[in-house]
Amino acid sequence: MRLADEIDRATGVKPKIRMGGIGVLDVVVDGTTVFSKKAEGRVPPPGEIVSRVQGAGRTKGAR
């Protein structure tokens, strides 16, 4: 499953995915970075991004 689909299904948030440089993966929710591959030095395991989006208060019905 694509990351965008995983986020949408779990949270109801339709993310906009933008490609960066080689290997760049930054996930930003309402202007706040919830994950940065560069800062953390790793690829997130399945489910981690959704968890962080939910932790940022973005779930179905939330504003």
Q: From CA 36, how far away is CA 40, in angstroms rounded?
A: 6
H or E stretch including 30?
A: none
Beta bridge partners, 32, equal 29
Global model pTM greater than 0.95: no
CA triple 16-43-61, angle to 5 deg: 40
CB 2 within 8 A of CB 50: no
Q: Determine the pLDDT at residue 1.
A: 63
With a cut of 80, say whether residue 19 has pLDDT above it: no
**pLDDT, averaged across the chain:** 83
Tens-digit pLDDT profile for residues 47-56: 999 999 888 8
